[in-house]
Structures are given as structure tokens and as C-alpha cells.
């Protein structure tokens, strides 16, 4: 197969083709610009589904080509996918067209072309992160995602957009510098940056495992974000445009958790086991802190932002429980959070376009005038608080059940305290729903609000369908990721 037409290459770089078409179009032809970006993202999603079908047939191969040689150091253009990678790519390519669809009327004018171009560039970076199997290639994609998101926040964000973008940049760059140092160290030790070669020769840098775990882990923990490295997130979410918040919560945060799974566990197994209780402890603090601060919020978008700190704490707890059930639950919860929280940000944006405020006190009784929006919001809210029958329950149940039986954590207190986070989530999410949608319609400005139109329903409906489908029958996802999870845990268990 020609390398340019390899499925993983097409998934990664097809958005550049859409970008080229955008640049050729007249910037005043907004309709054509939107359709080119949307169709490009839909075709990319179709390619991701094709790759999934090939993988199920055992026909999806890796692509590994010589790329750069710096002295004795070899850098390869190495793309590959297991069940975890494919699931993350499917999540990315699924959310991208929905995010673009949500901006159909929100972003207009001469800067629309730049907005859409940045989104397509962002998709290239995100897909590359999940498919790269050479550490230098991974790092290039990792850093590449930073640029479009910073500009999306800084140009199309809210009043404090420059502050939020700068804070996001500084936090991310601190982690990235240490990540680069770690990558160079292991590469120099082995003579290659190729992940399979590094895993095979990890004894070469075994004496520096703890330091390397921390160097890699700081970059990944900032991206998750893991408490106490989370303070950039609420500002970025609140100031970002709606579509930016959807992709930030739905995909970019998952890059951090994915980094721990893909690199820290197999490359630094002894450090992963030794530091597992500490990582789980930070995760539990994040679960409780995020939930507590979310409950205190009066701004709906900021509440959802802090809920991400809590929900991603569950993901980190599952990863460092180091049991198949907990890690599988963590991977599923990465998808669940992307769907549920992505939908919550879409709902916040849709109401903001109508009411131009995110203050919870400005709403109340909206079910009476917005029954369709309210019904969809109810399903998404119940999903986020992990009600049985919806997707969130499956992920959190497996994380907590696996953590209760985790020998790596030493005792059950981690899972026990994590369970308190489930209760707190119910408190802040039900409070949010009650303040926005239930009770009397006390504000006259809300009586004339229009319910969702067809485009907005089509934006939310695919997420709601998946929320219900995963909650009822999650087994296909577990079948997809189980071999990859078992292999990672086998590598993490070996010295």
C-alpha cells in the first residue's frame, strides 16, 4: 500500500486537504467555507470508522518509515493504532463535525476562514498524538495542538481571553520542556525514539525511571489536568468559544491521560507501581476538590469546567489502580466525559447565544419555554452524574470496582473516597439543573426564548444517542480496548 494512502496517514492529514480548499475560497463566501470544513471533518470521521473495521478484521497495519537521522539517533515516521488509540481517534473525529456545526451562526465575518482553518489544524495534531509511535513524532503533534487552541481562545474568546490563553500557554510549555528533556534522555540512551524499541530496551534507563516518570508525567498531568495543576482549565474553558470548549474538554484533556497509558506505564513500570498510590491520592483530591468547587459556582460554564477536574480524577484513579477492570473503565470514562461534558458545553453555548449570560440566577423554569433543549439537557446531566442505564455509570462503576480490588493502591480508601465524589457530582449537577430548568419562570426575558432549531438538535442528538447506547450495551467498547489494556498492564507489571 502506498504510504500516502495508508488509513492512518489519511486520518491524520486529510484535514490539511480541507485547509487547502479553505485557503482557495473567497473569505466572503461563508456558506462554502462552513461546508468545506464540515464535510472534511465528516470524511475524516468516516476514515476513522474504516480504520476500526480494518482493525476488527485484523487488516489494519502500522506504518513505519525512516524519517530523520541525527548522528546515531534515528527518528521514524511511525504510526500505529491499538484499541485505545482507535477509540480516541473515533472520539476526536466524532466531536469535530459537531463542534463545527455548533458554530454555524456563532462565528461570522472576515475571520471565519481563520477560525475554521485553526480547527482543521487542531484535528491534525490531535489525531497525530493518538497515532504516533515515535516519541519525537508524538512530541511534534503534541506541541502542534497547542498553537491552534491558543489562537482560538485569544481571538474568539471572552473578555479575559488573552489572560486565559497566556495562562494555558505557560502551563503547557512548562510541562512540554520537561517532556522534551525526558524524550531526549531515553532516545540518547537507546539510540532510537521508536516506542517499541524503547520498551524493549527500557532496562537501559531503568536507574532513572522515577525522574523520567515525573518528567513525562508533569506534562501529561498538566494536560489532564490533575490537581493541583488544574488552575489553567477553568479560565481556558470560560473564555474559549463554545466549539473550543467542546474540543478542549472532549479531546485535549484526554491527551494527558492517554500519555500516561501509552508512555508512562510501559516505559517506566517500576516507577508506575511505586508512585501509583501518590497518583491515586492526587486523583481523589481532584475528584473531591473539583466537585466541591463546582457546587459553589454561579456561572454555568465555570461549573462544567470544574466538573471536568472531578471527572478526570476518576480517569486517573482508574489508570493507577493498575487493574484490567479499572483501566478499562478509565479508558471508557475518557470517552464518556468527552461526550457528556462536550454536550454540556454545547448546551451552555446555545443558551448563551439566546440570553447572553451564563449566570445560573438568570434562568429558572426554562422547561416551560424550551422543552426540547431541557429534555436533552436532562439526559446529558444524568449521564454526567452516572445514573445507571447511561454511559457515565458504566465507566465510573468499573473504575471504582477495580480500584477497590487494586493491590497497587494498598487499601480501599482511595475507592471509598472516590465514591464520595459520585455523591457530590449528583449534588452540583442536580442543583445546576434545578436552577436552570425547573421552578417558576421568574425572568420575563426568558419567556420569549426560542427552543432548539433543527441544526442544534442534529448537533446534540448524536451525542445523546451514544450516551444511551453505551449505557445499555458497552461491551463492544470493552472488546475493542481489552487487548490493549491487558498488554499495557503486562508491560507495567514487568521490571
In a domain, 453, yes or no: yes
In a domain, 399, yes or no: yes
**What are φ and ψ of residue 18, in 5° steps?**
-65, -35
Residue 240's pLDDT is 87
Indicate the helix (H) or strand (E) that contains 77.
strand 73-79
Sign of the Cα torsion 406, 411, 417, 423 reads: positive
Indicate the helix (H) or strand (E) that contains 493.
helix 475-493
Residues 6+ apart with CB under 8 A from 119: 37, 41, 96, 99, 100, 148, 152, 243, 247
Residue 414's pLDDT is 85
What's the length of the chain?
A: 495
In a domain, 490, yes or no: yes
List residues bridging with 74 in a β-sheet: 69, 192
Residue 307 domain boundaries: 268-495
In a domain, 155, yes or no: no
- Measured CA to CA in angstroms, residue 98 lies from 92, 119, 366, 477, 481 at distances of 10, 12, 24, 21, 24
Within a 13 Å sphere around the CA of 158, how many CA atoms are in the beta-carbon half?
19
> Cis peptide leading into 393, omega within 30 of 0?
no
Number of domains in the chain: 1
Q: Is 1 exposed, middle or buried (0-12, 13-18, 19+ CB in 10 A)?
A: exposed
In a domain, 379, yes or no: yes
How do the pLDDT tens digits run along the chain, 495 residues long?
A: 577 788 999 999 999 999 999 989 887 888 899 999 999 999 999 999 999 999 888 878 888 888 887 777 888 889 999 999 999 999 999 999 999 999 888 777 778 888 999 999 999 999 999 999 999 999 999 999 989 999 999 988 888 889 988 998 889 888 899 999 999 999 888 888 999 989 998 888 888 899 999 999 999 999 998 988 888 888 888 888 888 899 998 999 999 999 999 999 999 999 999 999 999 999 999 999 999 999 988 988 899 999 989 999 999 999 999 999 999 999 999 999 999 999 999 999 999 888 888 888 888 889 999 999 999 999 999 999 889 999 999 999 999 999 888 776 767 888 888 899 999 999 999 999 999 999 888 888 888 888 899 999 999 999 999 999 999 999 999 999 999 999 999 998 877
5, 10, 13, 14 alpha-carbon torsion, rounded to 10°? 110
Distance CA 277, CA 114 (A): 45
C-alpha cell of residue 359: 449566570
Q: Is 339 exposed, middle or buried (0-12, 13-18, 19+ CB in 10 A)?
A: buried
| 441-468 exposure pattern, b = at least 16 Cβ within 10 A, e = fewer | eebeebeebeebeeebeebbebbbebbe
> Cis peptide leading into 228, omega within 30 of 0?
yes
Where residue 389 falls (left for φ over 0; alpha for ψ -120 to 50; beta otherwise) is left
In a domain, 170, yes or no: no
In a domain, 16, yes or no: no
In a domain, 310, yes or no: yes
Residues 6+ apart with CB under 8 A from 493: 269, 273, 322
Distance CA 156, CA 396 (A): 34
- Measured CA to CA in angstroms, residue 382 lies from 284, 334, 376 at distances of 22, 17, 10
Q: Is 407 exposed, middle or buried (0-12, 13-18, 19+ CB in 10 A)?
A: exposed
Would you give the DSSP letter of residue 368? G
Q: Is 171:266 a contact under the CB 8 Å cutoff?
A: no
Where helices occur in 145-268 by DSSP H, the ranges are 146-156, 161-190, 195-200, 209-223, 232-239, 242-247, 253-259, 265-267
User: How many other β-carbons are positioned within 10 Å of the β-carbon of residue 28?
Assistant: 11
Q: Which residue bears the cell 468516516?
A: 46
User: How many other β-carbons are positioned within 10 Å of the β-carbon of residue 61?
Assistant: 15
Amino acid at each position: 500500500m502506498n504510504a500516502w494512502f495508508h488509513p492512518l496517514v489519511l486520518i491524520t492529514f486529510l484535514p490539511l486537504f480541507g485547509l487547502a480548499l479553505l485557503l482557495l475560497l473567497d473569505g466572503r463566501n461563508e456558506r462554502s467555507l462552513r461546508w468545506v470544513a464540515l464535510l472534511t471533518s465528516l470524511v475524516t470521521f468516516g476514515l476513522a470508522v474504516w480504520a476500526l473495521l480494518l482493525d476488527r478484521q485484523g487488516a489494519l497495519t502500522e506504518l513505519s518509515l525512516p524519517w530523520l537521522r541525527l548522528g546515531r539517533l534515528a527518528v521514524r515516521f511511525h504510526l500505529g493504532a491499538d484499541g485505545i488509540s482507535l477509540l480516541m481517534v473515533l472520539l476526536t473525529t466524532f466531536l469535530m463535525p459537531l463542534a463545527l456545526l455548533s458554530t454555524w451562526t456563532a462565528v461570522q465575518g472576515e475571520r471565519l476562514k481563520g477560525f475554521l482553518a485553526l480547527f482543521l489544524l487542531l484535528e491534525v495534531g490531535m489525531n497525530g498524538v493518538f497515532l504516533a509511535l515515535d516519541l519525537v513524532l508524538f512530541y511534534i503533534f503534541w506541541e502542534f495542538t497547542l498553537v491552534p487552541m491558543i489562537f482560538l481562545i485569544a481571538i474568539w474568546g471572552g473578555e479575559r481571553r488573552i489572560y486565559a490563553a497566556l495562562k494555558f500557554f505557560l502551563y503547557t510549555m512548562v510541562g512540554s520542556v520537561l517532556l522534551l528533556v525526558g524524550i531526549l534522555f531515553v532516545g540518547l540512551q537507546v539510540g532510537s525514539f521508536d516506542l517499541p524499541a524503547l520498551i524493549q530496551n527500557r532496562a537501559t534507563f531503568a536507574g532513572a525511571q522515577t525522574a523520567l516518570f515525573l518528567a513525562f508525567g508533569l506534562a501529561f498531568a498538566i494536560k489532564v489536568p490533575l490537581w493541583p495543576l488544574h488552575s489553567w482549565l477553568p479560565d481556558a474553558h470560560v473564555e474559549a468559544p463554545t466549539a473550543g470548549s467542546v474540543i478542549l474538554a472532549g479531546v485535549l484533556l484526554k491527551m494527558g491521560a492517554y500519555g500516561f497509558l501509552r508512555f508512562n506505564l510501559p516505559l517506566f513500570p517500576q516507577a508506575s507501581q511505586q508512585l501509583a498510590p501518590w497518583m491515586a491520592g492526587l486523583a481523589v483530591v481532584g475528584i473531591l476538590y473539583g466537585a466541591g468547587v463546582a457546587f459553589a459556582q454561579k456561572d454555568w460554564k465555570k461549573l462544567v469546567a470544574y466538573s471536568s477536574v472531578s471527572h478526570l480524577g476518576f480517569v486517573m484513579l482508574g489508570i493507577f489502580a493498575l487493574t484490567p477492570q479499572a483501566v478499562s473503565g478509565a479508558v471508557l470514562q475518557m470517552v464518556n466525559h468527552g461526550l457528556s461534558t462536550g454536550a454540556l458545553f454545547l448546551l451552555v453555548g446555545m443558551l448563551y447565544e439566546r440570553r447572553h449570560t451564563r449566570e445560573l440566577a438568570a434562568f429558572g423554569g426554562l422547561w416551560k419555554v424550551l422543552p426540547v433543549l431541557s429534555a436533552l439537557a436532562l439526559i446529558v446531566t444524568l449521564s454526567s452524574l452516572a445514573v445507571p442505564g447511561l454511559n457515565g455509570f458504566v465507566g465510573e462503576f468499573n473504575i471504582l470496582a477495580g480500584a477497590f480490588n487494586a493491590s497497587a493502591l494498598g487499601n480501599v480508601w482511595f475507592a471509598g473516597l472516590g465514591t464520595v465524589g459520585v455523591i457530590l457530582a449528583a449534588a452540583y449537577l442536580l442543583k445546576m439543573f434545578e436552577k436552570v430548568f425547573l421552578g417558576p419562570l421568574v425572568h420575563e426575558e426568558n419567556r420569549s426564548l426560542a427552543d432548539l432549531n433543527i441544526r442544534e438538535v442534529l448537533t446534540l442528538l448524536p451525542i445523546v444517542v451514544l450516551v444511551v447506547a453505551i449505557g445499555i450495551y458497552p461491551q463492544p467498547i470493552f472488546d475493542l480496548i481489552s487487548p490493549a489494556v491487558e498488554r499495557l498492564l503486562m508491560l507495567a507489571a514487568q521490571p
